[in-house]
Amino acid sequence: MTEGTKKSSSSTPNKTTSDIASKLNGLQGWAIGVDLGGQSIRGAWVSTKGQIFDPIKWETKVSDGKEKVLSRLVQLVDELLKNPPPGCEPSKDLLGVGFGIPGIIHLKKGLVIQSPQFPDWKRFAVYEKLRKKIKFPVFIDNDANAAALGEKMYGVCKPYDHFVYVTLGSGIGGALFLNGDLYHGSMGLAGEIGHMTVDPQGAPESTGNRGSVELYASGSGFQKILSDLRERHPSISANTPEELYELWKRGNKLPEWEAVEKVFDDMGNALGIMLANVVNTLDPQAICFAGGLTHAWKAFSRKMIQITMERSYVARHNKLRILSTSLMKNSNFIEAGVVGAASLVFVDALKKQASIEIKTVKAPVAAAAPALKAVASVAI
């Protein structure tokens, strides 16, 4: 049984991800990337050029329990192994299997500490269980971290060594890419920016916090927002953020457009406050957004950028770029998570390769020191 790693990258300290990213074109092989979500599991073969082959999307079935969900992850990998890309021999060409998993992950121990999407995943030894059932090297990381890595290797964040990645989905995830590498923190828990408080007097939450940005700018937060909106304006029938965005696009032709616009303005305001704090703290070159709610980018981004620039001294001086992912081709199969999970495998392979190269480089032979001549002491 092949041993993988609990971490998303090699521990070799000599080379950062930014250092070795340019070597990706020379890397041979394939990876399988799997993106686990609360609603669906997505998986595919991924080439070192970031192209996906044989994408699969299955229902997660969270209510079946953690062991059944884990079995579905393994079954999906087995299904992909039955249909490798043309010319690929898995036993020779598959470098590993990467998993992007939502929730708080203790990378050193390979545990999911807890996950909002999976209530029974508490200190769940997901890495060890996957490693025992999959005969190829296994790599895991938080789903936002994995997606950020994919964006660095293949997307709009290629030029940047310092960026923050934000996912707008059922919750709000975050990843920090600093000084050329993912930053995990002391235990692998860094980047949980969705729990940042934007309204100290806001509604209480199950996390113990209150008034977090997730209440205003996530899929779960929108459930209550839409319920309140329909109660105040019965003619508005939107049940999802996507449906509300379609109403927003009608503009002044919609009688209740101002009420719809306010929802997206509140979303932009909350995200702007969050970004201002993040930018003031970290001084990144760029912020990159991904996730299902980015489809409504035109509705909330203007307000978000306005508030960020108003509240962040740093953003007004460091030429901050605010970007949207280039790895989300359609809503049926979001590539960012799958390509990101595969990138966990590729980065590890590249760092190991770099380590071997460093070890095989011969140190130059030092020139012999010149012989010292005895000089008589002269009294002055």
Average pLDDT over every residue of 188-217: 91
Average pLDDT over every residue of 262-269: 97
User: Residue 68 to residues 64, 100, 132, 201: CA-CA distances in angstroms?
Assistant: 6, 18, 16, 40
For 17-155+330-351, which CATH superfamily applies?
ATPase, nucleotide binding domain (3.30.420.40)
Best-predicted range by mean pLDDT (189-193, 316-320, 345-349): 345-349
| Side-chain half-sphere CA neighbours of 309 within 13 A | 12
Band (59; pLDDT cuts 50, 70, 90): very high
- The pLDDT value recorded for residue 151 is 94
Question: Beta partners for 118?
Answer: 115
Distance CA 190, CA 364 (A): 41
Which one is predicted more confidently, 12 or 324? 324
Q: Give the predicted TM-score (pTM) of the model.
A: 0.85
- The pLDDT value recorded for residue 12 is 43
Which one is predicted more confidently, 1 or 68? 68
- The pLDDT value recorded for residue 11 is 46
Average pLDDT over every residue of 204-229: 92
- The pLDDT value recorded for residue 232 is 95
Q: How far is CA 167 from the centre of its chain?
A: 7
pLDDT digits (tens, 9 = 90+) for 151-167: 999 999 999 999 999 99
Query: Which residue shows structure tokens 């929108």?
Result: 222
Please state which of the ranges 177-191, 228-242, 298-312, 362-376 shows the lowest mean pLDDT: 362-376
3-state secondary structure of 206: coil
- The pLDDT value recorded for residue 357 is 62
Contacts of 364 (CB under 8 A, 6+ apart): none
pLDDT digits (tens, 9 = 90+) for 291-311: 889 999 999 999 999 999 999
Average pLDDT over every residue of 208-224: 92
Contact 115, 313 (CB under 8 A): no
| DSSP assignment string, 93-130 | HEEEEEEEE-SEEETTTTEEEEBTTBTT-SSB-HHHHH
Which stretches of 37-85 are assigned E, i.e. beta strand? 40-47, 52-59
Average pLDDT over every residue of 244-273: 95
Question: At residue 58, does pLDDT exceed 70?
Answer: yes
Contact 340, 147 (CB under 8 A): yes
Question: At residue 181, does pLDDT exceed 90?
Answer: yes
Across the chain, mean pLDDT equals: 88
Domain spans, the chain? 17-155+330-351, 163-324
Q: Which residues of 39-55 are buried (b: 16+ CB within 10 A; e: fewer)?
A: ebbbbbbbbbebebbeb
- Domain 163-324: which CATH class? alpha beta
- The pLDDT value recorded for residue 107 is 87
Question: Beta partners for 97?
Answer: 32, 138
* Residue 242: closest CA among 213, 215, 264, 274: 264
Which one is predicted more confidently, 258 or 373? 258
- The pLDDT value recorded for residue 332 is 45
Q: CA triplet 335, 303, 175: central angle to 5 degrees?
A: 40
Distance CA 46, CA 278 (A): 32
